[in-house]
Amino acid sequence: MTDQLRIALAQLNPKVGDLPGNLALARRALADAQAAKADILMLSELFLTGYFPDDLLFKSQFVADAMETARSLIADTAGTDVVLILPTIWQDKGNLYNAVLVGENGAIIATRYKRELPNTDVFYEKRYFAAGPLPQPVDIKGVPVGIPICEDIWHRPVCEHLAMRGAEIMLCPNGSPYWTDKQHVRKDLVRARVGEDDVPLIYLNQVGGQDELVFDGASFAMEPGGKLVVQGKSFETDFIVSDWSRGENGWTCTNGRVEDLTSVEEAPWRAAVLGLRDYVQKNGFRDVVLGLSGGIDSAVVAAMAVDAFGPEKVHCIMLPYRYTSEDSLRDAKDCATRLGVRYDVVAIGDPVDAALRELQPIFGNRPLDTAEENIQSRMRGTILMAVSNKLGSMLLTTGNKSEMGVGYATIYGDMNGGYNPLKDMFKMEVYALADWRNKHLPGDCLGPSGEVIPQSIIDKAPSAELRPDQTDQDSLPPYPVLDDILRSIVEDEMSLGEVVARGHDPALVKRIERLLNIAEYKRRQSAPGPKLTPRAFGLGRKYPITNGYKDFTVG
């Protein structure tokens, strides 16, 4: 039995389904652990398959390939002093498990299965996995180690059982996605477990974007008494090595690196940039294109894209019509210049007017309305998709959560695109992030420092510019009011009566709820974007398109 342990955490960015690529990442981590003379190397939850593989788990060949890949990696521990904690899928007696394999000297010395399977808006593990029994500690170099898997620590019995069976230290692999304040929620959770069980817990999380989820890393370790002794980087890969010593009062960390966590103001920007970067690159695109209107949303998306890829891989296009103001033309060019991106102007006047002429026999003498306005938006979407097809760039779309909430977006027009970094941000959050980015440049971002979003864009009234002198507030309440109503209904699931009690006009609240409900079909056809809150449209809030429910708490 040893009284000293050096533990390495590989906070890496796997790709779902990429068994060879994830195996290569793991092998590099194993080599790094050997070089660091680590006793233990832990990888994050379901590392070899990526988290979460969804219905790939119903594909028997994928399961077989994943298990063979795991055996291959375990074999690599032969001739090393490193014990590998490898989270992966594992099939046993006809059941599939979310598992951990413990490998030493080329052999599997233990298997442990996740007991508490999440069944939430994000993960439906009960659809795929059998629940494991209450786990026993694993003997690693003579030390009884508990290995609860992610959700297992959110429920007291698993860690309590491990501690009662003699576990002296807990090593917990996770696939925990980011949302607002999640890093602090995890800390509070682990502090509770450590206090109850009186043993330290080391928490490893993966990092990177996977479809609409963003994993923020931020791995850490905590000793009894709630003392934070290790803190990894946020939103970046990291290789974290810490030294542990057993004394009279159990295991304590004698050498651990503690990084600063990202602030609550910075985290949404970092999450959006990381989600965008990984979505584009993991899907095989090299660069992006977007329409730059001179408004706040497209300016923020352009800045995020430059931070994700660098200015040379971002292409911005202004698509003016007769209602486009001189201010918008000036602001769009100014923004593109500050960001250093390619900037083109493609006027849509001739194709829009031609479409209107050809439609006149069908439209007849009916008064002008949104049908004519939306032709402008759809022409822009068509042109941007043409550029995307011709140049091979992914088209980014730029609608925020406030607009998507009430359907203030044109389906097959400005909603065109492969990814939307603002999908889960309310309008006022977009303004706040623009102001934040003008004052800060995160270390992993590739854009310029300084005021990259012109103040004139932040200051002017938002407008779709689809008719003369149009502003968003012609048809919507002021965004602070709209955001509060939507946040109350969407994030907090308040009744209409409760929303009115916050000081809002009853007729307005009923109107916003109606717009929210009838726009569900649009949201179902919208581009994916990073989930930044617990109640993101689609991945966090699933409502039927055909919905006859009426809230009668307001007359």
Torsion from C-alpha of 61, 64, 69, 71, nearest 10 degrees: -170
Distance CA(353)–CA(351), nearest Å, equals 6
Q: Which two tokens stand for residue 62?
A: 């994928």
pLDDT above 90 (res 538): no
Q: Which of 174, 126, 152, 130 is nearest to 14 (CA)?
A: 174
Active-site residue, from 15, 104, 114, 520: 114
- Judge whether 465 counts as a catalytic residue: no
Mean pLDDT across 161-185 = 95
pLDDT above 90 (res 93): yes
Mean pLDDT across 38-43 = 98
Greater confidence, 544 or 308? 308
Q: What values do phi and psi take at 215, rounded to 5?
A: -100, 130
Known binding residue 398? Answer is: yes
pLDDT of residue 298: 97
pLDDT above 80 (res 463): no
Q: Which of 181, 205, 266, 289 is nearest to 445 (CA)?
A: 266
The interaxial angle of helices 60-75 and 19-35, nearest 10 deg, is 20
Mean pLDDT across 251-279 = 96
Known binding residue 104? Answer is: no
pLDDT above 90 (res 474): no
pLDDT above 90 (res 472): no
pLDDT of residue 149: 97
Q: Which residues contact 5 (CB under 8 A, 6 or more apart)?
A: 39, 40, 141, 143, 169, 243, 244, 245, 251
Instruction: For residue 350, count other CB atoms closer than 10 A to its CB.
Output: 9
Known binding residue 275? Answer is: no
- Judge whether 196 counts as a catalytic residue: no
Distance CA(170)–CA(154), nearest Å, equals 14
CA distances from 113 to 129, 134, 336, 488 (A): 10, 9, 52, 39
Structure pTM?
Answer: 0.94
Mean pLDDT across 436-446 = 93
Known binding residue 234? Answer is: no
Known binding residue 382? Answer is: no
pLDDT digits (tens, 9 = 90+) for 503-537: 999 999 999 999 999 999 999 999 999 999 989 99
Q: Which of 37, 10, 38 is nearest to 24 (CA)?
A: 10
pLDDT above 90 (res 467): no
pLDDT of residue 375: 96
Q: Which two tokens stand for residue 172?
A: 């917990």
Q: Is 547 left (phi over 0), alpha (psi -120 to 50) or beta?
A: beta
Q: What values do phi and psi take at 224, rounded to 5?
A: -55, 145
pLDDT digits (tens, 9 = 90+) for 97-151: 999 999 999 999 999 999 999 988 788 999 999 999 999 999 999 999 999 999 9
Q: Are 17 and 56 in contact (CB under 8 A)?
A: yes
pLDDT of residue 72: 98
pLDDT of residue 462: 79
pLDDT of residue 150: 96
pLDDT of residue 475: 79
pLDDT of residue 106: 97
pLDDT digits (tens, 9 = 90+) for 154-163: 999 999 999 9
Distance CA(56)–CA(70), nearest Å, equals 17
pLDDT digits (tens, 9 = 90+) for 202-224: 999 999 999 999 999 999 999 99
pLDDT above 80 (res 76): yes
Q: Are 163 and 125 in contact (CB under 8 A)?
A: no
Active-site residue, from 104, 150, 253, 316: 150
Known binding residue 13? Answer is: no
Integer-rounded Cα Rg, in Å, for the chain is 26
Half-sphere exposure at residue 544, Cβ-oriented, CA atoms within 13 angstroms:
4
Euclidean distance between the first and the last CA atom of the chain, given in angstroms as a whole number: 72
User: What percent of the chain is modeled with pLDDT above 70?
Assistant: 100
Q: 484 pLDDT band (50/70/90 cuts)? A: very high
- Judge whether 223 counts as a catalytic residue: no
Mean pLDDT across 376-400 = 97
4-255 maps to CATH 3.20.20.70 = no
The architecture (CATH level 2) of 267-469 comes to 3-Layer(aba) Sandwich (3.40)
pLDDT above 90 (res 473): no
pLDDT digits (tens, 9 = 90+) for 287-318: 999 999 999 999 999 999 999 999 999 999 99
Domain ranges of the chain: 4-255, 267-469
pLDDT of residue 411: 94
Mean model confidence pLDDT for the chain: 95
What is the residue type of 546? T
